[in-house]
Structures are given as structure tokens and as C-alpha cells.
Amino acid sequence: MPSIAAGTKHILDSPASISRKSIPLVEHHSTSFSTSDRTLIDAIAARLVADEPALNAIHAFGPRVGSGMLDGPALLIGDHREIALATPAMAETYEYRLAVLADCGDVILISGNRNPVFENYLQDYLDIGPIDVIELLRKGPNGHQPLARRCRSDKRALDRLAAKAREGAGLTVVPHIGTGSSWALAGLVSDLAGVPVRVAAPPPRLTRRVNDKLWFARRVAEVLGRPAHPPFRSAYGPAALAAQMARLAGRSERVVVKVPNSAGSSGNVCLNSRDVEKQSLTELRINLLSILRGLGWRDRFPLLVEIWDSDVLANPSVQTWIPLAGHGDPMIEGIFEQIVEGAEGMFVGSVPAMLPEVWERAIVGEAFRLAMLFQRLGYFGRCSFDAVIAGESYEQADLHWIECNGRWGGVSIPMTLANRLTGDWHRHPFVVVQQMHLAMAAREFAQILATLDGDLFRLQQSPHGVVLLSPLGFERGTAINLMAISDSVEEAKDLAGRSIRALKNYDRH
């Protein structure tokens, strides 16, 4: 079991890099941080930057562009298209989700499917907005490119953003993930408007690195020691992939190959070790490549191969906010238990974690050290760390860090919204439901509101109820993405369950 290094309790300064009231930060956990910890992390950060000088470079985007946030208007880009293996349907489903972080007059980008009923719902039920919507309709060969890239070639959209930036003497770009296209859009708007623009995300190359499961596994080993991550190997070609899978199969019941830059479980191929051992290396190589290509993988190496933990006691996810260096230490806002299904561990929701105190301290301590490394590298913004506690009992278990989400996600968005709606999610716990690939009846969003009417959260009436996070999945009958807030976790679970049943039974009425 991990130990906690002795040291001085860190004091969180007020992060001057935060200025948007729609992103309230409420710290719920603190930890100790010793001089030796700081020395180790500083040394690792210095080496990584020396090895990759462009890791935190942003000069290409212009002198008025940087990480952080400004007072005034924001552009919110809830786009998943630049995450490996993300499908067009998934990207469209979540385009509205960042709108719950909007202040009055902010702008969101969408690729069509505008939903005035959902926009009115945000304003009437949650007091969010009104928001300004820019539709980048799918036209021509560039119709499926990332939203930020399409926006750069849309004069009408650029003129609107430049005018918004000039009017507010600056603009903050809040992307789902801080890839180069969002940074390039920030630079172009800054040039056109002649005002500062901030990006609420890390530099693009650092964004790419922290979201890479293989890069993250190596950082875990450096900061926390190799036992803090399941045994893993990198595979740089098809033959190596089969060989590494076969080698690890002798050490565990299951092994998994992961597409390193995919989100969550979408790029996971988990196999029973007995099935692996029955195949020749040639057969294994052919089968693995076939499965991966079926997921949308396009023969890009390296791939991550690791042991899949069995006897999992908990799947904690640590939600953090990382200020700019010099503006306070990273904040740990909550630990949530991820609800996963299937052999690949697909995320379908989350609840506040209920862990033994000694494990909570261990998780907080190790997550804080990882966040400190990221801050030293130039990271800014939302970040979460996913782990598993594996073993027959908590007394004999191991803590393994398996993934970093250097972006907004399925827990951090509703957590931030819950803080905004209730002041502190800890006083009014919530659960998240994120079910995909459903086959429900299609219906208009107004019908969704009518179906759940008695249970919907209304800001002016009560600090509990159901909050709908994005409209399109509901309307198509393919997804449920909601948050249930109540006075206890159990009550929130009951509320969420009642809502799911109402939605799934709709077509029977």
C-alpha cells in the first residue's frame, strides 16, 4: 500500500489565474509535500523540458496569447473530434456539454443541430445564459474537421469572435481539450481583434503528452515508482505487439492493449490470458490488428500493453484544477468512484467515492504529486487522474494509476456545474449517468423535459433535482447524459434511477 511522505501541509493560495465565476473551484482535500518530493519533481520536469523544448511552447500563436483566463467573454468549444477513435456521432452528442460553463453572452461553437429548447432550458431552469451560438455547418470537404479548424476558415464566425473580443477587451477560449487547433484559433482572433486572448488549457504539445497513456505510465513510474502503475510495455510494431501481449499473459488473468491517445476505454482490447496463450504469435498478431482496426485504429504505433488488474475494489477518479505556476498549488476538488461496464471498462457514470481514510489520503497524496509535475511543465486548467485499487482486500491491495484526462470530462463538467448551482457539491452530492449506444424512442427535447418535469432541477426552487447535460443523445434515443443532485448519495442514486426508467419506458406509454 502506498505511503504518504512527511512534510509541510501545502497552503493553497488564491489562484490569480482564475477569474470566471462560472468555473467555481472548491478544494476538498489537502496533503503533505516534502522538500524531497519537490526536488524530485523539479528534476523530472527540468529533464523533460530539456529533452523536448517545445513541450510548453506557445510563441507560435502570437505575443498576446497564453494559458489562463480573463474577465469578460469566453468561447466554449466542446469538440471531441481530435481525440483518437472518437466517432462523428459522439462528437455531435457532446458539442453542447460545455455550455453549462457559460456566462451570459459567452459563445459556443456547434456543427449544426442547434437546439433553442435546450438553450432556453439552461437559462430558465439553471440561470445559464443567454449564450451566443455560432453554427459551423457541414459544407464541402472540410465539413467533418474539428470545430476550431473550421472556424478559422469561416469569415463570418471570425468576424463575430473578433467583435466579441474587442467589445470585452479580451477573450478566453475554453476548449474541451487544448489541442493546436484551439490555440491557433485563439491566435487568429487575437490578431484580428488586437486584444489579449487566453486559452483555459495547457500548451498543445503538453496537452498531447498528458493524454497519452504510455507517456503518463512513464511519468507515474518516475514520480511514484514503477509499482504505482500496472506492469506495462510499449509496442512499436505488429510483431512486438503480439510478443509483449504473450509475455505479459503469463503474469495475469487478463492483459490489455491500449491505443494511447484514445479516450477512456474506446481504444482498449482486453483479452483473457488463456486465450492469448492458445494462439501462436502470428495468430495473435493478426487477431489483434483486426480488432484494433475494427475500433477505428489506423496502424499508428506505439501501443501500450499492460496487465489488466483483477479483484478491483474501487475505480477512483481524482478531479483536480491546476493553476499556472506561481498562482497557487494544484487543487483537489473531489474523488469519485467510476462506474464501468464490460470487459474493456466502459465509463457509464460516477458517484462520490466512499473509501477508507487511509486510502483516501494515499490517493490524494499521489495525485497531488502528479499534478505538481504537470504544473512545473506548464500545465493549466482541468485535469483528472484515474486509478484502480486492486486486491482481495483493502489491507492487501495496490494503488495503480492508469490514465490521465488532461481535459474536461464526464465527471469534471457536472462537478463544476454542481458547485455553480449549489455552492459546494459536497453539501449536495450528485451522481452522473453517461450511457451510450442505447436504442430508446427518439423524441423532441421538449418531450424529455415533460417526461422528467417533476424531478428536474430548478435553481430558484430547490438544491436538488435532475440536470440534463446535453440534448442530442436524448433526442436521438442513443444516449443518456444527466446529473442527479440531492441531499445524499443514496437519494441522488434513487433520483437518477427513477429518471432513467422514465426515459427508457417512454415508448411504452
pLDDT in tens, 371-425: 999 999 999 999 999 999 999 999 999 999 999 999 999 999 999 999 999 999 9
Residue 340's pLDDT is 61
Model pLDDT for residues 16-51, shown as the tens digit of each residue: 345 577 899 999 999 988 899 999 999 999 999 999
CA distance 41 to 135: 44
CA-based R_g, the chain, Å = 22
Kindly report which listed range (116-120, 134-138, 193-197, 430-434) carries the lowest average pLDDT score: 134-138
Q: What residues form DSSP beta bridges with 387? A: 401
Instruction: Please tell me whether the peptide bond between 130 and the residue prior to it is cis, using omega within 30 degrees of 0.
Output: yes
In the block, which residue shows the cell 487544448?
A: 178
Residue 19 pLDDT: 55
Query: Cβ neighbours of residue 308 under 8 Å, at least 6 residues apart?
Result: 230, 252, 253, 254, 255, 256, 270
- The phi and psi torsions of 492 (rounded to 5 degrees) equal -65, -40
Instruction: Measure the CA angle with vertex 394, ends 390 and 397; round to 5°.
Output: 40
Residue with cell 478491483: 312
Give the whole-angstrom CA distance, residue 87 versus residue 502.
28
Closest CA to 336 of 319, 357, 322, 348: 319
Mean pLDDT over 259-273 rounds to 89
- Distance CA(368)–CA(54), nearest Å, equals 25
The grid coordinates of residue 12 equal: 493553497
d(CA 469, CA 457): 12
- What structural domains and CATH numbers belong to the chain? 8-55+208-227+311-405 (3.30.470), 58-201 (3.40.50), 231-308 (3.30.1490.20), 428-508 (3.30.310)
Contacts of 435 (CB under 8 A, 6+ apart): 348, 349, 479, 480, 481, 500
> For position 22, what pLDDT does the model report?
82
Cα 155 to Cα 141: distance, rounded to the nearest angstrom: 17
Q: To which H or E segment does residue 496 belong?
A: helix 489-504
User: Stretch 435-462: mean pLDDT, rounded?
Assistant: 93
Rounded-to-10 torsion of CA 41, 45, 51, 53: 180
pLDDT of residue 68: 96
In DSSP notation, 421-441 reads HHS-TTTS-EEEEEE-S----
pLDDT tens digits along 95-135: 999 999 999 999 999 998 899 999 999 999 999 999 999 99
Give percent of the chain with pLDDT exceeding 70: 92
Three-state SS at 317: strand
- Strand residues in 311-379 grouped as ranges (E): 312-314, 316-322, 331-341, 346-352
Q: For residue 442, with 0-12 CB atoms within 10 Å meaning exposed, 13-18 middle and 19 or more buried, which class applies?
A: exposed
**219/129 Cα distance (integer angstroms):** 40
Reply yes or no on whether the pLDDT at 3 is more than 50.
Answer: no
Tell me, what's the pLDDT at 348? Answer: 66
- Identify whether the C-beta of residue 103 lies closer than 8 Å to the C-beta of residue 22: yes
With 90 as the cut, is the pLDDT of residue 467 above it? yes
Cα 418 from Cα 507, distance rounded (Å) = 30
Q: What pLDDT score was predicted for residue 126?
A: 97
Q: Is a pLDDT exceeding 70 seen at residue 342?
A: no
- pLDDT(4) > 90: no
What mean pLDDT value characterizes the chain? 91
- Cα distances from 146 to residues 79, 95, 180, in angstroms, run 7, 11, 11
Check: CB of residue 400 under 8 Å from CB of residue 229: yes
Range with top average pLDDT, 33-37, 85-89, 338-342: 33-37
Q: In whole angstroms, what is the distance from residue 307 CA to residue 258 CA?
A: 11
> In this structure, how many other beta carbons lie within 10 angstroms of the beta carbon of residue 195?
19
Average pLDDT score over residue span 249-269? 90
What grid cell was written down for 124? 430558465
